[in-house]
Amino acid sequence: MTSPTASPALALDSEILARIRCPDLLTRIATPDQAASLIHDGMTIGLSGFTRAGDAKAVPLALAERAKRHPMKLTVITGASLGHNTDKLLYEAGLLARRMPFQVDDTLRAAINRGEVMFIDQHLSETVEALRSRQVGPVDMAVIEAVAITEDGGIVPSTSVGNSASFAILAPKVIIELNLTYSAAMEGMHDIYIPAKRPSRTPVPVVTCDSRVGTPYIPIDPAKIAAIVITREADSPARVATPDPATTAISAHLVDFLQNEVKKGRLPPSLNPIQAGIGVIANAVLSELNRSDFQNLRMYSEVLQDSTFELIDSGKLLYASGCSVTLSAPWAERVFNNIEAYRDRIILRPQEISNHPEVIRRLGIIAINTALEFDLYGNVNSTHVGGTHMMNGIGGSGDFARNAYLSIFVAKSQAKSGAISAVVPMASHVDHTEHDVDILITDNGLADLRGLAPRERARQVIAHCAHADYRDLLSDYFERACRERGGQTPHLLSEAFSWHERYTRTGQMKP
């Protein structure tokens, strides 16, 4: 990681003057260390950043440095994941007492699983609701990346909105990281809408993917801006994995299914708005749509990835709404250097709105998310390896799966060269219950679980989703569970986790 260039001693060049349009604020330009000195032991801080996009970069790094001299413990809340090894550095500096609501860092993950950092894994639409009502928090300081500050002190975010707006509104003090790398032409791409306080809250007025219902900046009192740090470092690029035969097979099953739904009149030819979780499989699925006949597609999602812009470029996708843009290096160059060309096709909202149950239900989203494993009856584990060890977090999958028109989960049918089956007798941890799962897809096939009772679901899952190597084992478990125990959802509790236990013992789920 290279250290962000930042210094108030720099001449206030015309670029900075153009971006800080509230002249009173020019005096608040500070070094990262000066800004970090405003953060004290015991504080709860809200950092911008969602899927490693638009994350606060310089101040957390300076904070980690300061902690070597001034040990402290913080509660760190973000939108979702941070880039630049920030979570690693904060952890290694001993700073992280509590962390919410999502992370993807290897070092932090290990610390969480050792019980060293208290990690609160939340539905991503809910964090700011909990803060706003002071059920969690309060946030003492917000650190928000921006591309500009308006005449009134409004903050124009960069590549993500995430929870930044509510952090800035709720915190008594705000540090801004003004990132000169991202074009000031991003202004106009964001739509900041914050639900009113209850009991006078009114409907969220988003009725289409491209509804603009708020302001293009985060409105705050400029007196709260405690420091402005100038930075020039780009987001960490998305990790790109090339599609493989399994992801291609999954994508093909999905496209077939959607085409069939259109034929049956259950979906219009342009489909319903699409949400796709972050990651290789979801990205592959969207790329496959590019080779399909669908036209005039729309997205209402969290993170907009390479595939979103591929679909825009090919003319397939009319509009994409999200709360962050996370791109590989080549796509970042292409998109962010031509933001004017994309600005009218994309909109970035607070994650509370991109993931809002109200809007998801209203728009009738097709939600496509990734499962770690799922069971015979369609209960999905999205988070816990072996039922105990956190991977990343539930993210927005629960916001979408519960309220979507179609809730689809995808997984490769096996992992670790066949040592692990994604389809297991009983999910070792449940993030999405059978009630929230309509369609399950693996490279092996697609199980349509809509309107089916659990015993019927099991037969579909075994026949269509399980890898051939595990099919007979699953059938055997299911048939014995029906015979020996029965019930709406037959299980043999003494064997339900035997595959997971065997894997721990032998490195193989197979006997």
- The catalytic site residues sit at 302
| DSSP-derived 3-state class of residue 50 | strand
Place of tokens 């299914």: 257
- 65 or 405: CB nearest a copy of itself: 405
Q: Distance between CA atoms of 98 and 102, rounded to whole angstroms?
A: 11
- Is position 416 annotated in a ligand binding site? yes
Phi, psi angle pair for 33, to nearest 5°: -65, -40
Where helices occur in 266-418 by DSSP H, the ranges are 280-290, 306-313, 329-336, 339-342, 351-354, 357-363, 397-403
**Sites for a copy of itself among residues 25-84 (CB under 8 A):** none
Place of tokens 């939600």: 367
C-alpha dist (Å) from residue 426 to 228, 374, 393, 433, 468: 51, 7, 20, 12, 18
The count of chain residues that interact with a copy of itself, using the rule CB under 8 A, is 86
Q: Is the peptide bond before 199 cis (omega within 30 degrees of 0)?
A: yes
C-alpha dist (Å) from residue 338 to 38, 164, 186, 333, 428: 36, 24, 10, 8, 46
- Is position 263 annotated in a ligand binding site? no
| Token pair listed for 494 | 């003494």
- 150 or 272: CB nearest a copy of itself: 272
**Nearest one of 405, 485, 407 to 440, comparing CA atoms:** 407
Q: Output the CA torsion 143→145→148→151 (10° steps).
A: -20
Determine if 163 is a binding residue for a copy of itself (CB under 8 A): no
> According to CB under 8 A, which one of 71, 205, 269, 330 is a site residue for a copy of itself?
205
Q: Distance between CA atoms of 334 and 427, rounded to whole angstroms?
A: 41
- Is position 392 annotated in a ligand binding site? yes
Determine if 485 is a binding residue for a copy of itself (CB under 8 A): yes
Q: Is the peptide bond before 237 cis (omega within 30 degrees of 0)?
A: no
- 71 or 268: CB nearest a copy of itself: 268
Shortest distance, position 471 Cβ to a copy of itself, whole Å: 21
Question: DSSP string of 205-239?
Answer: ---STT---SBSSB---GGGEEEEEEE-PPPPPPP
Determine if 405 is a binding residue for a copy of itself (CB under 8 A): yes
- 50 or 499: CB nearest a copy of itself: 499
Which helix (H) or strand (E) segment holds residue 47: the answer is strand 44-47
Shortest distance, position 363 Cβ to a copy of itself, whole Å: 7
> According to CB under 8 A, which one of 23, 199, 245, 511 is a site residue for a copy of itself?
199
Candidate segments 30-38, 58-66, 149-157, 488-496, binder of a copy of itself by CB under 8 A = 488-496
Determine if 501 is a binding residue for a copy of itself (CB under 8 A): yes
**Sites for a copy of itself among residues 339-358 (CB under 8 A):** 356-358
**Sites for a copy of itself among residues 94-153 (CB under 8 A):** 98, 100, 112-115, 118-123, 129-130, 133-136
Shortest distance, position 105 Cβ to a copy of itself, whole Å: 14
| Token pair listed for 93 | 């500096």
Determine if 268 is a binding residue for a copy of itself (CB under 8 A): yes
**Nearest one of 154, 156, 136 to 146, comparing CA atoms:** 156
**Sites for a copy of itself among residues 406-435 (CB under 8 A):** 406, 428-435
Determine if 398 is a binding residue for a copy of itself (CB under 8 A): yes
Determine if 511 is a binding residue for a copy of itself (CB under 8 A): no
> According to CB under 8 A, which one of 487, 506, 507, 508 is a site residue for a copy of itself?
487
Determine if 2 is a binding residue for a copy of itself (CB under 8 A): no
Shortest distance, position 503 Cβ to a copy of itself, whole Å: 10
Determine if 459 is a binding residue for a copy of itself (CB under 8 A): no
Determine if 361 is a binding residue for a copy of itself (CB under 8 A): yes
- 300 or 309: CB nearest a copy of itself: 300
- 35 or 437: CB nearest a copy of itself: 437
Angle between helices 306-313 and 329-336 (to 10 degrees): 50
- 339 or 404: CB nearest a copy of itself: 404
Q: Output the CA torsion 375→448→124→95 (10° steps).
A: 30
- 69 or 198: CB nearest a copy of itself: 198
Determine if 470 is a binding residue for a copy of itself (CB under 8 A): no
Asked if residues 79 and 162 have their Cβ atoms less than 8 Å apart, the reply is yes
> According to CB under 8 A, which one of 237, 386, 418, 445 is a site residue for a copy of itself?
386
Candidate segments 13-21, 164-172, 184-192, 261-269, binder of a copy of itself by CB under 8 A = 261-269
